[in-house]
Amino acid sequence: MTRLAQRHEAVNLSQGFPDFAAPLPIKQAACDAILADINQYAVTWGARPLREAIAADFTARHGLPIVPDEQVTVCCGSTEAMMATMLAIVDPGDEVIVFEPFYENYGPDAILSGATPKFVRLYEPGPDRPDWAYDPGELAAAFSDRTRAIIINTPNNPTGKVFQRHELEEIAALCRTWDVIAVTDEIYDHILYDGQQHVAMAALEGMADRTVTINSVSKTFSVTGWRVGWTVAPADLTNGIRKVHDFLTVGAAAPLQAAAAAALSMPAAYYQDLAAGYQARRDRLLAILEPAGFTCYRPKGAYYIMTDIAAFGFPNDVEFARHLVADIGVAAVPGSSFYRTAGAGQQKLRFCFCKKDETLNEAEKRLAKLKVSGPASVRS
């Protein structure tokens, strides 16, 4: 969709990267690191200052002691962190549970590691369901002797769901019963709305020794192009992750690791402003999409709005997305790309709002040309 957006000079609300500047102190730290000649390979599992900063941050936020030398592995973004984790922990034929709709990479990650993905549906909000939710019976039925891992993404892309403590405790109990590893992608953990709280799976009782927590600087510090992410995991799992990581990429860019360590010492006000800024952008995009005819699922975290496009009367999401980018000049992601189940997501479209006011204003102008054939309303 980003390529189509470029071809049609469309406003790109598809791929989740900010079009505004990254924080100056972080950019300065990157320049300083290059000038200080931090330009050669870092230790393969991550430069010590960054691993120490990650461990200290994790302990401060989640109350779990972390040994940087044994439990932290720095990778090329959380994308590599997830791939290295899957290759390290999964044997061909093992099953991995994935909530559907899912962030697009989890499907290929499962395939590349030889895992068989087992999808558990997150049902959309409706009259009897205030938030995206799984069916507890379906979740329990997905676990078996073949299950090796479950992937959780909270706050969630594409739905904006923030998994609540009781849900994570339910998942944790199943992990303990079936001896399953929880792999949690928490890269939006600072981007929460309406007083939501992030709960880290690793911090739940009995989960520290069976959880791989994945994070990165991409979203929290608006530097998706830096490619610095990491895993925090028990020592035995870290050992395997490091071996895979070493042969996949050797290491993340050394000067950007130094800058990432500096980023992790940003003051608390930075994170408050980040969440408040995104909440304002979320509200702005909701106020653009709803009058244009979209039914919006109000996100509680991350920076996407999943919408229902039934009001436009198109046969499917891909045709509608093509119309939107080519004729209206706004790019969004077809909902079906977040589902594996045939036919699912075909009346959905995901927009991102990690964009400048000017970008959102321009999208509003263009969306005014859209023709609606039915009513729409914002659900919360």
Contacts with ligand PLP, residue ranges (CB under 6 A): 16, 77-79, 103, 153, 157, 185, 187, 216, 218, 224, 229
Kindly state the smallest distance separating residue 105's Cβ from ligand PLP, in Å: 6
Three-state DSSP state, 149: strand
> Which residue type is seen at 230?
W
* Cβ(214)–Cβ(82) below 8 Å: yes
Nearer to ligand PLP, 255 or 293 (CB): 255
Nearer to ligand PLP, 157 or 257 (CB): 157
The helix-helix angle for 268-292 and 357-367 (nearest 10°) equals 10
Nearer to ligand PLP, 83 or 376 (CB): 83
Kindly state the smallest distance separating residue 155's Cβ from ligand PLP, in Å: 9
Distance of CA 29 to the CA centre of its chain: 25
> Closest Cα to residue 54, out of 70, 40, 39, 33?
70
> Which residue type is seen at 158?
P
Q: Alpha-carbon distance 28 to 154, whole Å?
A: 30
Kindly state the smallest distance separating residue 103's Cβ from ligand PLP, in Å: 4
- H helices of the chain, in order, are 2-7, 24-35, 48-62, 68-71, 77-89, 106-112, 136-142, 165-178, 217-220, 235-249, 254-263, 268-292, 317-323, 357-367
Strands 147-153 and 116-121: unpaired
Task: 125-130: list long-range contacts, CB under 8 Å, 24+ apart.
Answer: 125/297, 125/379, 125/380, 126/379, 130/380
Kindly state the smallest distance separating residue 224's Cβ from ligand PLP, in Å: 5
Nearer to ligand PLP, 183 or 292 (CB): 183
Distance of CA 203 to the CA centre of its chain: 19
Kindly state the smallest distance separating residue 352's Cβ from ligand PLP, in Å: 9
Q: Whose CB is nearest to ligand PLP?
A: 77
Nearer to ligand PLP, 16 or 107 (CB): 16
> Closest Cα to residue 302, out of 319, 283, 322, 278?
278
Q: Alpha-carbon distance 114 to 217, whole Å?
A: 28
Kindly state the smallest distance separating residue 218's Cβ from ligand PLP, in Å: 3
Q: Which residues pair with 232 in a beta bridge?
A: 72, 213
Kindly state the smallest distance separating residue 362's Cβ from ligand PLP, in Å: 22
Q: Would you tell me how many other CB atoms lie within 10 Å of the CB of residue 235?
A: 11
Nearer to ligand PLP, 229 or 293 (CB): 229
Nearer to ligand PLP, 109 or 131 (CB): 109
Kindly state the smallest distance separating residue 56's Cβ from ligand PLP, in Å: 20
Nearer to ligand PLP, 84 or 328 (CB): 84
Q: Alpha-carbon distance 22 to 326, whole Å?
A: 30
Nearer to ligand PLP, 79 or 346 (CB): 79
Kindly state the smallest distance separating residue 116's Cβ from ligand PLP, in Å: 21
Nearer to ligand PLP, 79 or 336 (CB): 79
Kindly state the smallest distance separating residue 13's Cβ from ligand PLP, in Å: 13
* Cβ(67)–Cβ(88) below 8 Å: no
Q: Alpha-carbon distance 335 to 318, whole Å?
A: 8
